[in-house]
Amino acid sequence: MPTLGAHDEELLERIHGLRRIAALTGAGISTDSGIPDYRGPDGVWTRDPSAADAFTRKNFLADPEVRQRFWRTYADHAAWHAEPNAAHRALAALDRDGRAVRVLTQNIDGLHQRAGLPDRKVLELHGTMHTSRCTRCGAKTPTPEILARVTGGEADPACAACGGVLQLSVVLFGQFLDADVLGHARNIAAASELFLAVGSSLQVEPAASLCELAVRSGALLVIVNRDPTPYDDQAAYVVREPIGEALPKICAAM
């Protein structure tokens, strides 16, 4: 498949005028905002593979020490202080320009919305870090309120309503994605003219398989990622340029 650089003019010509754009975004789109990715050369789990244990549902529910590590990690996570970068803003600008933009994000940081995309145009496939919920009664609480309890000395805060285990409103390993959200994402992928996969290793299913669904439905697949992915051979173009440079260029071309 062509890569941007030698074939950039060809790609930019092919996408000019396309109106139905879906973007599957992963951790790589937020690294320019100061949020580390997970599987990259300097990723959180690359540097400390044991850190992934806290993101496994079974471990999280069974082990208070795992939960304590999890809450310590998020008490001062970089995402709380991050601002949208050029890539987030490019997708929001494309939407304001009148294109039918939908973002299917694996990220939990909320930066697409902060860049200006309406909530209804962002599907958070893996949930959000901005709320937490009780795994017993389902009560939802703004996460900053939970983290205030952590910094105040509660290493493993329990639900104030029923005493159950609290968890960020995110999908941990071993949990299924919300069926309605996934079904909506599949419909968007199937209806797109251009499907952008941006900053994702495309190793986590079923989100990654949205690429294949889009291609089968006739969309042009463009992967913007630093490292190779399992779906590169299905892409019309693979872009290895930095995301903060490449995505604004691609969006501007439309």
Task: Tell which residue, 222, 229, 235, 198, has the closest CA to residue 86.
Answer: 198
Q: How many CB atoms lie within 10 A of CB 37?
A: 23
* Alpha-carbon radius of gyration of the chain: 19
Residue 22: φ, ψ to 5°: -115, 140
Choice among 81, 88, 126, 184 that is catalytic: 126
d(CA 79, CA 98): 29
The count of residues in the chain is 254
- CB 122 within 8 Å of CB 91: no
Query: Does residue 126 carry a catalytic annotation?
Result: yes
Residue 3 corresponds to which tokens in the numbers above?
């890569």
d(CA 98, CA 85): 21
Residue 165 corresponds to which tokens in the numbers above?
């285990």
Catalytic residues: 126
